[in-house]
Structure 1
Amino acid sequence: MQHLFPNQVNSNSLPLAYFTLDRNGVILFVNDNWCSATEYVPEDVEGVYFGDLLPDNQKNIFPKTFREFRSKLKTDFRTYKIRKKSGEYAEFILYARAETESGGFLKAHFIMLDHGSLKTTERELTRSKYMYKLLADNIKEVVCVYNITQGSHLYVSPSVTALRGFTVDEAMSQTLYDTLTTESRPVFEKAVDEAETEFLRKPDQDSPFFLEVKQICKDGTEINVEIQARFQLAANGDLEMICVSRKLSSSKLEDTIRLMREKEVERIGELTGDMFCLSDNAGRLIKSNKRLETTLDYKFVELSSNSLATIIHPDDKLMFKTVIENTTDDFVDEIDCRVKHKGGEYRLINWKITRFDAEKIYLCARDITPPKSVANKAIFRQVLASKNRPLIQINEKRVTKPESMAAEIAEGRSYMTAVADFSSSLIRNIKLLEKKDIENQLKIIYKVARTASVQSEDFAFINKYAAGEYVPVPLLLSLEEEGRNSLEDLAGMYEQSELKISLKSQGGLIKIYADPTAARALLRSMISYMIRQSDGRGEILIRAFREDNAALFIITNKELKSPSDKNSIINIQRCEVVASSMGGSITSDSNPTTGTTIKIKLPAVV
């Protein structure tokens, strides 16, 4: 502005209202046109703080905006209401530019335009309000514009009748506080006060806030309503609040949990290396990660307009559609089917499918195409053919080095995992055919294979932990819950008709602070050791309780008078090393009276 108003130009000769402020916001100079617009004379205002001419709501904002203007040293424009000498307020648009000296702020130059004279702007504003009203009148949610300064509604959308039973005129005559129940009013007031303070501190930022309240309907009933609101400054300087309300069909907690779950799964989808997507019930994509596009070479828009079934191989399409239509939220369905790549060839894709809610389905997919395209059955034949060594027999006596045993355990674990996964996949597909006898046999195969796989993993982990090759990450755990999970993992070791195992506990009160993997491997190893010693017969009692500052997990077989010298893959000494590193111990005792007892002692969390 200093370039527009050099010293030799008489500011009073300008056809515009003009004034200057010092760095503190104090008026230094006003020209004649400024005086004509405000009815003041120079002596009335020169030396007066400019904020004193503004209404209270703008007076609170002015120091911050002026401070930012001084720091940025850039052109700025804002609308202010300025109090004339007569006491009435008039709207003006102020265009400002900073004058600098030696790189620092010296003073501010302002050109002031009468807002009322800008008819074009007024017409555009009117049109914007009309378009906003047209939109608000035709949406399901209730939209209202509430003048906080005046305490009255400026606008209420017609959907208020469907929500609360009031007509628009009846709702307009109420204040926002009139619509709330007694217990919701303090909640609403607190939220509005905090949001208003934040808005006045940062008026240039759009910061909506949310809250749940109870509103009163015309018939006297109460409904849970979620309100999304944001503040704005009206042209006349009044503070206004725009609110969008919707009725909650469920509690806020349920809504929050659902949203958290959706966001969590979507975040996992972005982190996973697999293809991940959300579809509707017809299989049309709603969301997907980039891995899906890069693997199949389709764009999202191509898969969002048609069902995924359109790119499934004709022979696999019925299976895919059947699973999509019947999947539930309490089970993850898994199938393998061929999917057509955009280039024309088919890729074998492993799908894991589960329901998110009544309208949406989550799908996670992995490309398992072998080097040469083969049918589904051939895949498992390849897996079996590659595993040409027999499984390790738990009770088989053999002389072998620990390194060799670890390698064979890993081999067996890989094999048994493949068997368990394949059995699980067959169980899901057999269910569709309602073959109960086959399903029960497959469940037995799955249970045995899963237990063998878990035991192999425990063996490898205990050796790795005892060798110092694992860094534990302790978490707060329930000893009872870990015990029950361990029993479930070992269900394939024994027939329940021949061996009875019971767990008694003080409930979830027994807490330990330990690495989850180490704790579970330790419990499973000791339970499986007792099962082997019992030859899968008799009765085993497990007790979990707290004694002083210790959590005790005691495994007892009263009929086992003395353990045999059977060879076992479980190394008790290495298990003791793991327990010791967790601040605990493992002891065992056998006598003809009480039988055999294994005691795992770990520090309890107070």
Structure 2
Amino acid sequence: MLAENITDVIWTVNVTKRTFTYISPSVTHLTGLTVEEAMNQRLEEILAPDSAKIIHDELSVLMPILMKGHDTKLSRTYEFQQRGKDGRFIWIEVVAQWHHSPTGDIEILGVSRNIDERKEAEKQLKDSQLRWKFALEGSKDGVWDWNIETNLVYFSPQWKAMLGYGEDELNDELDEWKKRVHPDDLDKCLSDIGDHLNGVTDAYTNIHRLLCKDNSYKWVLDRGMITERKDDGKPVRIIGTHTDLTERMEMENTLRKLNADKDQFIRILGHDLRSPFNALIGFSDLLIENLDQFDRQQIEKQLRIIHQTSVSTFNLLDQILLWSKSQSGNLVLNIEKFGFVNAVQEVLNTVEKVATQKKIQTVIVDPNDSIITADMNIFRTVLRNLIINAIKFTHTNGRIVISAKKESDRIVTTVMDNGVGIEPSQMATLWDVNSNSTTNGTGGESGTGFGLKLCKELVERHGGHIWVESVAGKGSEFFFTLHN
């Protein structure tokens, strides 16, 4: 009587004869078939092929076991697809007991239940998980899931891999994230999280740096949202993602540098080139207007000023063009071998007059007769700027030593002076192309401050390194290497 009134279908099937011996009336609700119609069907007819195969495989495994003894009972649970009267397959869950019937045949007592809705929900969940997994794998984002009450966090494999860790290298504590946030970024991170937890913001968003396994830092876009609350509204759970922004941040920094370089370029064109041209125009106008009144000595004086201004302006323009080529990636290196002493002497010949005016002694030291393998034009340009800088900041009767020293597989070129040296506060901006600060020389010489910045640009484009050691009031030593 109970079987007649429940929605689950109760049935028995004689496995030996492959026929149903009983089916409860609820089969009509499940499949649309009458009891009589259902009783006349065989198992192979009502099950989908995959489900029928499961039964076939079970028979191969269970029949030998059941044949060993009449008291043997085996319980199993299956999920099948069963065909309804309209031909559509529905998912059913079957709880079955395999045993012997009173006549000695092998029989199954089963209960079938419609699980179509559950299977559809599982499918939708699986599809959703696949879409989520595909989206995350495609975007390379890492996922985190923070239980606020336990303070435990699930970090996805991609979250860990982003920082260079394996799946088993980090535990599930919040501190694993917190201790890796850059100290300069942590306060803002915690403040933004607090704003979201307190309802100030709809979501948590923050850009910060995270320490990687190799001790480098990566920029990440960290986003999250409360997904679960208690009945009183208190947050319980936040789920979020990490997006690697390192490449974008580096690109933005590069763009900022390019913009700053462009501004510096415009400043030089607008001021540092305009000033000498104004001087050229002024002195040439003065000479033209007073040509008949000036004697030979006065004319020669004006012409020397014009010549000196023209040469320095030409050198500055040449440096700007060289710097521009380097910035645009159009600087082509012409690597060759040349003698250190000869190359230095050629540079000294071009600055001899300036050094002589201040009675500065220049000395070349190269006990090993060094051979340089580099772009000769870049070598001479860097060296000329360093020597001019040394002359500018060395007192009358001073001394400048240009030397070469072999270290490992490279030759270090040094320009040493006994001039005024460099104040510690100036060291930080010495190579900064964005710094506009310049200092007059010991003889009142002015400058653009561009020479040292060009040296750094050219040396690094050549794969080398440039640095300085200086003591204020005692002099400076500039060193540089050029990669072979």
Q: TM-score, normalised on structure 1? A: 0.27
Larger radius of gyration: 2
Higher RCO (CA 8 Å, separation ≥ 6 residues): 2
Q: TM-score, normalised on structure 2? A: 0.33
